Amino acid sequence: MAVIQVEHIGKRDVLSDVSFSIHKGEIFGFLGPSGSGKTTLIKLLTAQLNPTSGQASVFNGPSEMMHQSAQKMRFGILTDNSGLYERLTIEENLNLYRQLYDLPESSMDTVLHFVNLSGERKKKVNLLSKGMRQRVLLACAIIHEPELLFLDEPTSALDPINTVHIYKGLRSLNENGTTIFLTTHDMAEAELLCNRVAILYQGQIQAIGTPKELKKQHRDNAVCVELINGEAYELPINEEAADKIAHWMKSGLIDRLETKEPTLGDIFIKMTGSELL
């Protein structure tokens, strides 16, 4: 079942003829550099912006319906528009969301553990680092365990330890039924988390599929061999190379043998000629 269906959607000067669908239970990644249109797409899907062409549906209804109170209970969102009450504590900010969704007090304990801030709950928001603030915003977005979660660069300000902690939590949330729409320019993050990804560049989708499918499509037909004496070779996959490798293996000369598989970052650069920013 498609939770999100986008058909030929466009936004003047930002997006052009974008079509895709996201199925229930997926973690779907939209990949691209800053300025490629990822945030605009989330704002279109959550009815913060109107498209100039095409249409989008969420939960089988027009995306404009996301403003309705019944629909708001079904999704969570973290974007650059998300904000907090600066003079309140972390706990007080979360309590406002808890009351909004009519949740038990225990929901705050659960979500604070999720973002690794249980020991900081009494700290005022205006004293938080950028990374801690990002984690509080994420907590606000997931406190009601939404069916659909929009995350725009959710770990951009986090240190490696807290990033791994958040990854673990997002996988758990997904396993419990939350569909996740994730935008990122971190290719490693996409490979770790996403079932499928789309590469967005200059407002258009350049490729879409599972990370495994995309890497297979763009894999060079070559084998990299490193011998124990330090010599390295890149050989085509053919009968002559197979005989050579077999000889080295029988002689115990091979230290490392692997196919030349690209990363998602390699694929992006190959397709667009641009480094990720």
Q: Which amino acid belongs to residue 179?
A: T
- Per-residue pLDDT reduced to its tens digit, 107-156: 999 999 999 999 999 999 999 988 899 899 999 999 999 999 999 888 88
Query: Average pLDDT of the chain?
Result: 89
* CA pair distance 67, 203, nearest whole angstrom: 25
Share of the chain above pLDDT 90, in %: 55
pLDDT digits 0-9 by tens, 193-222: 999 999 998 889 999 999 999 988 887 778
Span 150-179, average pLDDT: 89
- pLDDT at 180 (0 to 100): 97
3-state secondary structure of 198: strand
**Model confidence band, residue 23 (pLDDT cutoffs 50, 70, 90):** very high
Q: What is the dihedral of CA 163, 169, 171, 177, to 10 degrees?
A: -150
Mean pLDDT, to the nearest integer, of 80-99?
A: 92
The domains of the chain, with CATH numbers, are 2-215 (3.40.50.300), 220-260 (no CATH)
Please compute the mean of the pLDDT values over residues 181-195 and round it to a whole number.
90
Q: Give the integer Cα–Cα distance in Å for 59 and 236.
A: 48
Q: State residue 69's pLDDT score.
A: 61
Rounded to whole angstroms, the Cα distance separating 47 from 3 reads: 15
What is the structure's pLDDT at 109?
95
* CB-CB contact of 222 with 258 (8 Å): no
Predicted local distance difference test score (pLDDT) of residue 166: 87
- With contact defined as beta carbons under 8 Å apart, do 140 and 93 qualify? yes
C-alpha dihedral sign at 258, 264, 269, 274: negative
Nearest to 168 by CA among 10, 133, 176, 71: 176
What is the C-alpha separation between 131 and 86, in angstroms, rounded? 15
Quick check: 167 pLDDT over 80? yes
Q: What is the reported pTM? A: 0.84
The pLDDT confidence band at residue 277, using thresholds 50, 70 and 90, is very low
For residue range 43-55, list pLDDT tens digits in order.
Answer: 999 888 999 999 9
Please give the average per-residue pLDDT across 2-7, as a whole number: 94
